[in-house]
Amino acid sequence: MSTKPDNEFDNFIDAYVDELIETPDDLILEGLDPTAVQAKGLSLLQAAKTKVARSRLAVAKAGYAALKSTPKATLQEVSAEEARRFLAQASNDSRYTLAARNLGELSDSEAIALYTKLKSIESHQNGDDK
């Protein structure tokens, strides 16, 4: 090895691995059939992969169920005029970064969509949808 370990445990592990690598296969197998040992090892590896996949699937299902069970924030229907009024106030609010937008050039649907997005973010930050 090119680097020297800093402590005794690392020295022990390095010496053990080096010795294991240098040991001939027949001495390790001690009369066992190499094909059978390989098949058993592959079987153990496949079982471990299956267990991990099932575990990941269970975690994903639990996360999806938790996400699905949380109530969604319901936004009120808003007119384009109200949305524009809110956006005008929000453009002067330091919590929002609307200064670079040309709010006067937004269509009614764009103004309502931006209003909806900002209100959704605002309710999420306030914890209303938890």
Residue 75's pLDDT is 56
DSSP 3: S
Q: How far apart are CA 115 and CA 130, in angstroms?
A: 21
Residues 77-115 pLDDT 10s = 888 888 888 888 888 777 777 765 677 788 888 888 888
Q: Quick check: pTM over 0.85?
A: no
